Amino acid sequence: MKETTLVQRAYTAVLEHFVKTGRAPHYTELAATLGLRPEEAREAQRKAAEASIACWFVKDTDYVESWAPFSNVPTHYLVTINGDPKWYG
Protein backbone atom coordinates (compact mmCIF):
# COMPACT_ATOMS: atom_id res chain seq x y z
CA MET A 1 0.00 0.00 0.00
CA LYS A 2 1.25 3.50 -0.82
CA GLU A 3 2.57 5.21 2.30
CA THR A 4 0.40 8.33 1.91
CA THR A 5 -2.66 6.11 1.64
CA LEU A 6 -1.68 4.16 4.73
CA VAL A 7 -1.04 7.32 6.74
CA GLN A 8 -4.38 8.77 5.65
CA ARG A 9 -6.15 5.54 6.60
CA ALA A 10 -4.49 5.64 10.02
CA TYR A 11 -5.53 9.25 10.54
CA THR A 12 -9.13 8.53 9.62
CA ALA A 13 -9.27 5.32 11.66
CA VAL A 14 -8.15 7.11 14.83
CA LEU A 15 -10.75 9.83 14.27
CA GLU A 16 -13.51 7.32 13.59
CA HIS A 17 -12.55 5.40 16.72
CA PHE A 18 -12.91 8.61 18.73
CA VAL A 19 -16.30 9.34 17.19
CA LYS A 20 -17.52 5.85 18.02
CA THR A 21 -16.01 5.26 21.46
CA GLY A 22 -14.90 8.60 22.92
CA ARG A 23 -11.24 7.60 23.04
CA ALA A 24 -8.27 6.96 20.80
CA PRO A 25 -7.27 3.43 19.87
CA HIS A 26 -3.97 2.04 21.03
CA TYR A 27 -1.78 1.34 18.00
CA THR A 28 -2.31 -2.38 18.48
CA GLU A 29 -6.05 -1.78 18.07
CA LEU A 30 -5.29 0.38 15.07
CA ALA A 31 -3.24 -2.50 13.65
CA ALA A 32 -6.22 -4.80 13.91
CA THR A 33 -8.48 -2.23 12.27
CA LEU A 34 -6.11 -1.64 9.37
CA GLY A 35 -4.83 -5.19 9.00
CA LEU A 36 -1.26 -4.21 9.83
CA ARG A 37 1.47 -5.45 12.13
CA PRO A 38 1.62 -3.44 15.36
CA GLU A 39 4.85 -1.68 14.47
CA GLU A 40 3.49 -0.67 11.07
CA ALA A 41 0.42 0.78 12.77
CA ARG A 42 2.54 2.63 15.33
CA GLU A 43 4.60 4.25 12.58
CA ALA A 44 1.54 5.10 10.49
CA GLN A 45 -0.17 6.67 13.50
CA ARG A 46 2.88 8.79 14.27
CA LYS A 47 3.18 9.94 10.65
CA ALA A 48 -0.54 10.75 10.57
CA ALA A 49 -0.15 12.99 13.61
CA GLU A 50 2.83 14.73 12.02
CA ALA A 51 0.91 15.30 8.78
CA SER A 52 -2.13 16.77 10.47
CA ILE A 53 -2.78 19.74 12.73
CA ALA A 54 -3.28 19.53 16.48
CA CYS A 55 -2.70 15.79 16.85
CA TRP A 56 0.01 14.69 19.27
CA PHE A 57 1.10 12.04 21.75
CA VAL A 58 1.72 11.96 25.48
CA LYS A 59 5.37 12.98 25.85
CA ASP A 60 7.84 10.11 25.38
CA THR A 61 5.08 7.63 24.60
CA ASP A 62 3.03 6.29 21.70
CA TYR A 63 -0.23 7.08 23.50
CA VAL A 64 -2.46 9.59 21.72
CA GLU A 65 -3.05 12.65 23.86
CA SER A 66 -5.00 14.72 21.34
CA TRP A 67 -6.50 14.05 17.93
CA ALA A 68 -8.27 17.26 17.08
CA PRO A 69 -10.96 18.05 17.87
CA PHE A 70 -10.85 15.41 20.60
CA SER A 71 -8.74 15.03 23.72
CA ASN A 72 -7.81 11.55 24.87
CA VAL A 73 -7.30 12.78 28.42
CA PRO A 74 -10.04 14.30 30.54
CA THR A 75 -10.23 18.07 30.22
CA HIS A 76 -12.69 20.64 31.51
CA TYR A 77 -14.52 20.43 28.17
CA LEU A 78 -16.97 17.57 28.54
CA VAL A 79 -18.83 16.81 25.33
CA THR A 80 -22.21 15.10 25.48
CA ILE A 81 -23.77 13.61 22.37
CA ASN A 82 -27.25 12.13 22.38
CA GLY A 83 -27.14 12.25 26.17
CA ASP A 84 -23.87 10.31 26.34
CA PRO A 85 -21.06 12.30 28.06
CA LYS A 86 -18.04 10.36 26.89
CA TRP A 87 -15.93 12.79 24.82
CA TYR A 88 -13.54 15.55 25.79
CA GLY A 89 -12.64 18.53 23.67
Minimum distance between the CB of residue 81 and another protein, rounded to whole angstroms?
6
Asked if 51 contacts 11 with a C-beta cutoff of 8 angstroms, the reply is yes
**Residue numbers 30-59 binding another protein by CB under 8 A:** 48, 51-56
Pick the binder of another protein from 2, 60, 61, 82 (CB under 8 A): 82
Backbone angles phi, psi at 34, to 5 degrees: -95, -5
What is the layout of strands, in order, in the sheet containing 55-57? 55-57, 64-67, 70-71, 84-88
Binding site for another protein (CB under 8 A): 4, 7-8, 11-12, 15-16, 19, 48, 51-56, 65-66, 68-70, 76-82, 85, 87, 89
